[in-house]
Amino acid sequence: MNIKNLCLWLMLSLTVSVSSYAKETAFRLSTFIKPSFQQITLEIDPDSPTFSGETTITIDVTKATDTIGFYQKDLTIQEAYLSNGDTKIPLAVTSHDYEIQHGKASQKIAANRYSLHIVFDGKFNTSSDGMYLSKFEGLNYIFTQFEDMYARRAFPSFDEPGFKIPYQMTIRSPEKHTVLSNTLVKKRTVKDGWQTVEFNKTKPMPTYLIALAVGELDSYDIPYLNVPGKIYTPKGQAQRTKFAAKHTAGILQSLENYFGSSYPYEKLDFVAVPNFTFGAMENVGLVTYRSSLLLLEDEPRLAEQGNTLNVIAHELAHMWYGNLVTMAWWDDLWLNEAFASWMASKVMMELYPEQNFKGQLVQEGAFGADASPTVKPVKKIVKSQTDVMDGLGLNYSKGESILQLIESLVGEKSFQKGIQKYMKNNAFKNAQADDLWEVLSTVAEFNVPAMMKTYLEQPSYPLIEFATNGEISQSRYHLKGSEVKEQTWIVPLSISYKKNGKVSRTNLFLDTAKTTVAELAEADWIFPNENAMGYMRWKVSPKQLAALLEDVSVLNVREKKSLLYNTQALFSAGKIELAELMTVMDTLVDDKDPMIGSAVVSTLNDFLYLVDKDNEAMFGQFAAKKLMPWFERLGVEDQPNDSTDTTRLRGAVYGILSRYANTPQVEKISAELASRYLKDPTSVPRSIATRALRNMARFSQQDWFTILRDFYIANTDANIRGTVSRAMIFTEEQQVEKALDFALSDHVSPANAITNVYVAMSSLDDKTLFYAWLDKNFDELSKKMPAFHIARMPEYFSTSCHAGNIKLAEKFYQDKKANFEGMARSYDIANYSAKLCLSLKEANQANFNRYLQQATQN
C-alpha cells in the first residue's frame, strides 16, 4: 500500500484443547485449522445496494474440535456447513471479538480434510474500504480495498496474512460491465443479460491482496510488458493514462533486474479509482490507484511526474516485497512498506535522476512523529485494524531510513545479494523480519539483528552529544518539556572532523551510553553524519559549530540540509538558543542550490506555531527579507531548463510569501495566476495554482468560496479538485462554515472529505466555530468517512497550539472517543501533542518576537 499504509506485531503461541476453542489467542484464528484453497462466487450489480455470494474453503482440521473459526464483518450468513464426501455437518455461527466467527457443530468434528461452505449476502458501503460503491459522472462502480483487515467485509475467509493460499474467483454481473480480478479470465458466459466470469486460480497469496472491479470501465494497453497488462479507468478516461502506461514496463524491468527474477504473476493491470482512501494498493495483478495519479496529461510537468512514477515503483516493488514474500502477521507490515519505499527510491534514482531522489532526506519525514513520548515502536503488538494504522507513516519513512542506513553500511552489491537470497528462500511463503536480518547478517560485518532491534522494537531515536574532550554520549531525543523513558541504541557513526588544520574521518558503533574517542578531543569541528544517512540528532559545542560553518563548503548538499534540520531540532529540544539556529540558517540562505533554499523555507515553516495575529506582519517582513532574493530569481513561471528542485523551491517560496508577505507584487501575481488557472487549469502548475487561489481566498474581497465551489463542481478531474480543495482557506467565518458544509456534500468523495474539512478549519486560530460545526455534523461526517479517518480524527483536527482549543477538544471527544475503536488512542496523541506545542510556544514566544523585531528593523 502507499501513501500511506500499515504496521504491526507478534502473536502468542496457541494452546488449544481438543474440544475447546476458548483457550486460543483471542485475536487470532486457530492454528490447528488450516485452509489450503478457497473458491469465491459473488453476484454484483453496481446499481444495486446489495450483493450476495457463496464460498467453499478447503480446510484441514488437525485436532478434533466442535468449532470452526473464520472472519466476517457486516455480512449476513445464510448457511454454513462442513462437508466430507456424503457427510454434511451444519454449523451455527456466532460473532465474537475481533470479528472472529465461531461455526459450532452439534457433534465432534474429527481431524480430517473438509470443505467449509458458507452462503452470505451484504450491502455495499460507500466509505472506500472493503467492497464499496464509487460514483463517478453518473455511473456506479464497485471497487475493493482489502488491506488491512477488510476482505472479511466482502466474503467470509481466513483473513490473516499467514494463511497464504490459492483462490479462485467467479463473479456474476450485468453484461454491460467490465469485470476484473487478480488473474486472467478463464471462462465467460452470458445469459439473459447477465455474465458469469470465471477467473484463473491465483498463486498462493493472503486475502488482503485479493481485488476486483466491476463497472463500465475503459482501458488502455500497457506496452512492452512480458505479461498482459492494461490500465482501466471510469468510462471515457482511458486516453488520459498514456504517461503511466509509457513508464510502467521500464519500472518493472528495473525491479526484475534488481531482484534477479521475473515478475511473478500472470498479468499486470492498473485501475484508476475515483474514490480511494490511500494512494494506491498493490493487489496481485490488479493494482488500484487514486485516479489523480494515473489520469494525467500526456506529458505532465517535470515536477508533477515524480509522485506518479514513485507510487508506481512502490506498488510494483510490492510484487516481491509483500506479495511474493508475505509477512506472517501484521506486526511486520512495516517491512512491506519500508522495503517498497526504499526500492522505489532506488528505481527513481536509476531511471529518473532528474527527480533527484538522491537528495531526499527520508528520515526528516519520520523524526517529528518519532520524537513524541506517545509514539509506539515500528514493530509493535497488533490485535485489530486500528492497531495496524497507529503510527502508519513511520512504516514508510522510518523503515526506509533504517534500510538506507543498513545498505550504506553493508554496501550496495552485498545488500542486493542478501535481498535476492531472501526472496529465493521465501518465495510464495510467509517470512518475518528476523528471516531477513539473518540473511543480511551473512553479508554484513556487524550484528544486523541487534542493531535493528534497537531502532525498530523501541520508539524514537538517539541524540548524540560530542564533548570537546572526545567523550561521546547518547540519550533519547525529545522536545523541550516532554518526559521520556531513557533508551540506548546501537548507533553507527561516520564522523568527519578537522584537527590541526587537517580533515579526517573515523567510523564507530556507539553501543553504550558513553564512550571516548581520543582522536576527537580538541577537534576544531565535528560532523558525525556522513552523507546524512544517520537516524539520529547530534550536538557539538557552539565553538565547534561556528568552526564548521566557516568550513561549510566541505559538506555536500545532503549534509548541509541535514545540518540545518538538525540545528532546528536542537532548538526544539531546548538544547540551543534561537540565535544559534538563525546563524546556521543565515549561513545557508544564500546558497545557490535550490535544495538548500527549500530547506530554509521548511525551517521557516517550522516557526509557524509561533506566528499569530500579533506578530504575523513582522513574520511576513522577516520571510520576505530572507526569501525575496529567491522569489525575484525564480518568479512563478516554469522555465525550460528548470530542475525539479528549482520548481519545488519556486512553489515553496511563493507559498510562504503569498501567505505571510502579501506585497503588492505578490498580490498582483496571485490575481493573474488565479484568473489564468480558472480559465485553463493546464496553464499553471498545480502547486503554484493552489497557492495563488489560496491567496485570493484569503485576501480578495470577492466571494471566493462560490468561485471555488462552482469550479470544483464543474470539474470531475481529481487533480483539479485537489488543487481547488486545498485552496479553500478563508478568513471570514461565514465562508469557513460554507466550506465545511461543502465537505459533507455529494460532490466531495468520502475519501476526500477529511481533507476538505481539515483545509477549511485550518485558518481558524480559535476553533470555537469549528467544534460547534463538528458537534452539529459529527454523525453525518462519521458515516461518510472511512473507518481509518474516523479513528484518527483527533490527530487530523485537534493538534493545536492554543489553550482554548485544547479545552474545546477535551469537551468534544469526552463522550465520543470510547465509541469508535482507535479514537481514544488518537485523542491521547493529539492532546499530548497540543499541550507540548503550547508549552514550547510559551517557552519560545517572547524570544521569537524579540528576534523578529530586531531582524525587521535592520
Angle at 716 between CA 715 and CA 721, to 5 degrees: 75
Which of the 8 DSSP states describes residue 41? E
Neighbours of 285 (CB within 10 A): 28
Give the active site residue among 315, 400, 530, 559: 315
181: three-class secondary structure by DSSP: strand
DSSP string, 732-799: SHHHHHHHHHHHTSTTS-HHHHHHHHHHHHTT-SSTHHHHHHHHHHHHHHHHHS-HHHHHTHHHHH--
What letter would DSSP give residue 149?
Answer: T
Residues 6+ apart with CB under 8 A from 823: 790, 791, 793, 794, 813, 816, 817
Q: Where are the alpha helices (DSSP H) in 260-359?
A: 291-294, 302-317, 333-351
Q: How many CB atoms lie within 10 A of CB 68?
A: 26
Helix (H, G, I), strand (E, B) or coil at 571: helix
Q: Is there a catalytic annotation at residue 315?
A: yes
Q: Give the separation between CA 227 and CA 160, rounded to whole angstroms.
A: 29
Retrieve residue 238's grid coordinates: 482511458
Nearest residue to 684 (alpha-carbon basis) of 299, 302, 301, 307: 301
The Cα–Cα gap between 14 and 25 comes to 6
- Cα–Cα distance for residue pair 516/225, rounded to 1 Å: 56
Which residue is associated with the grid cell 532548538?
571
H helices of 680-732, in order, are 686-699, 704-714, 718-725
Other beta carbons within 10 angstroms of residue 223's beta carbon come to: 10
Decide: helix, strand or coil at residue 131.
Answer: strand
Distance of alpha carbon 654 from alpha carbon 667, whole angstroms: 11
User: DSSP 3-state helix, strand, coil percentages of the chain (rounded to 5)?
Assistant: 45, 20, 35
DSSP structure class, residue 157: B
Active-site residue list:
315
